[in-house]
Amino acid sequence: MSRVYNFSAGPSMMPLEVMQQAQSEFLDYKGIGSSIIEISHRSKDYIAVAREAEKDLRELLKVPDNYSILFMQGGGRGQFAAVPMNLMVGSGKADYITTGNWSEDACTEAQRYGDARAVKADYRSEDGLIRVKTDLTFRDDVDYVYYCDNETVCGVEFPEIPDAGGKLLVADVSSNFLSKPVDVSRYGLLYAGAQKNVAPAGLTIVIVRNDLVGRAMKCCPSIFDYKIMTDKESMFNTPPTFCWYMAGLVFKWLKDLGGLEEMGKLNRAKADYLYGFLDSSDFYRTAVAPEFRSRMNVPFFLKDESLNDKFLAEAKAAGLTSLKGHRILGGMRASIYNAMPMEGVKSLVAFMEKFAKA
């Protein structure tokens, strides 16, 4: 079997060991004579899968007892709407820290449901690099402050949790979920689409503090109402059962690896290796200041962009795929999520060095 190194921003590369286990269990899950995708989500066998996955995730993230974990559908864009419909219900106001495409889109969606204000934090400094303001001011009476922890398009990641001035903090952590330890207690709500670091596309994980549940707007669809989903243990409707099962396998893979502390070290090492090469080269360039560079998504540009197509074609021939940058930004982008091994990053750097010399 010949597999490439897949640098896609999502759906993305998954751990080989996880896929091999899923393959071995696919036709006959633990001797029941059926595939995991064929059995009822309310069956004893599947309930055990779901509960164990939730337990493992709670252990990995050290989720406090006063938080619920929901396994939902609708992706990040679904939560762009679900968050304000569940939480923007006091003053009807929220401040959105915008640092790129996804936080801007979230703010635009929230404006359908209340007074959502964009607080622009990204800017280009005199050296032409993207940076993020840290001395932000928020309105006194907002129901929450929202931000996207890692912007996949431009490759900006917050090095620290932003200071919300004591206000309720909500975060989209889709593209760096489970890539490092996180203090869940600092947040009112976290959510993540699974297709970056957790599972195939189709599952969205929401971690919400229990006192914030049960306040949804009347217009909120039942499927997005956190109280209904909590009361029904994420089984209000048929959940994405295969994705939930795959997420459970990934949680165990992370635990076997040593947990999020170890995963964080590995991700830091991968990112440092790739950025170190980019910084040493005059053939490639990056556009984000070092202190705000994403460990997950690394956009870069060739000095001569007329060579872009040639670069992508030769990279694909070398077994390095999905390196084309987002249509908004152009250039190249290497997404190096949890499942990307250091060997893949080293292979990319070796190819880039060879291409530049040629």
- List the catalytic residues: 102, 172, 196
Are residues 182 and 129 in contact, defined by beta-carbon separation less than 8 angstroms?
Answer: no
- Which of helix, strand or coil describes residue 232? coil
CB atoms within 10 A of CB 106: 27
Q: How would you label 59-75 residue by residue, b for 16+ Cβ within 10 Å and e otherwise?
A: ebbebeeebbbbbbbbb
H or E stretch covering 18: helix 16-25
Burial of residue 23 (number of CB atoms within 10 Å: 0-12, 13-18, 19+): exposed
Tell whether the torsion through CA atoms of 155, 178, 202 and 340 is positive or negative.
positive
* Residue 166 token pair: 């004591």
Are residues 262 and 335 in contact, defined by beta-carbon separation less than 8 angstroms?
Answer: no
Contacts of 145 (CB under 8 A, 6+ apart): 94, 95, 96, 97, 138, 162, 164, 165, 167, 168, 169, 170
Select from 325, 304, 326, 338 the least CA-distant residue to 192. Answer: 338
Are residues 68 and 207 in contact, defined by beta-carbon separation less than 8 angstroms?
Answer: yes
